[in-house]
Structure 1
């Protein structure tokens, strides 16, 4: 899991190559070889578990210092892990997040593929109302009603435009040439700087501006429409007035 250039992996590989070139016997390996391994800054202790067999193999146990161990975990996880307590807390947190994600995974895959996905509720989220007596003609029955939250995901393409005014037509053509040239270098067009801002920043500003235009009232109306579609299932024409 560690990359070849990682100090721990690189150090162990290099010291192994060095010991193999020296062709030590089991006695030399158990003294000089282990001393070299223990001299590595990340090694807490090292010991020869077995060696001197007919095939000439040797098994050495190397324990990495806790500081380096948690440093490696931090690099692999992408977050700072200082000790065992923090590691256990993070495992618990990630376990809870994984449970939440498992519920939404199929819906996310669906919305990416088809533009729509729904997260169905868990059993503990379903609320049963009190049963009531109903009458149909001269017969009676019981109605049980359940209410449950469902989360609907809809993919909507956001269109944003960047239209810097530079002056003459020739200057506009020069800007296009500059953008195309910049797109060939580094991270592509996103890092291209126009008037002190990158294209990535201007695009993100445009997207945030579009999203901020959705008012609270508009969101509530959209929610009400979705509830009617789900519950009434009329399949008719829906008109949303913003």
Structure 2
């Protein structure tokens, strides 16, 4: 999450999960008395939108890409992508979000805001983590919030059920690298605060993963056979310690090529 705070109110990017609400409210209140004026959702997943309803009830306008509203309005069943030695990945059901949680304002390609002396540029990208993803560039502060277009120092989850593509993840990373300087702070959807060097490492890992799995898939190997090849053995010590393990990452890449 990221908050722009000032006399125009608080502008909040992503709202995290429902159980975090008491501490989230405490943290927001601790920033000062200005109300939450706007909530920006980087994409539709629950761990980025769960507290929309509470903040909207407090007076905030929820802003997102039009696909985010569409996806949040639908039921979803995320298929089991891989059931390996460490358990299943996904296999989750989501009911439609309540009307109060849905974005009240949407855009198609780009949205620009001026608030608290800051210029915010919201930009939709081609299907990447999902087909709903945006990044938010705080131009004056030199901060970019990438949502789940960036998992810092861990394998990412890519959602094939709502259009996710590893090639789109690579394209999004390249786009942000063209915007960022060496001093730019880059906020990941998961993992620590990053910078351009971190994002370059992430992009390179995505390219390597894509190339290796694509070669094996093109040779006619099934996902299970690709898993057995252990194509990421050299990457796992660095990238395999997050929410997605090596076997799951093979399956994610295989399904989202």
Same fold by TM-score, threshold 0.5 exceeded?
A: no
Q: Going by fraction, where is helix more abundant, 1 or 2?
A: 1
TM-score category (smaller protein): under 0.3
**Which gives a bigger RCO, structure 1 or 2 (Cα 8 Å, sep 6+)?**
2
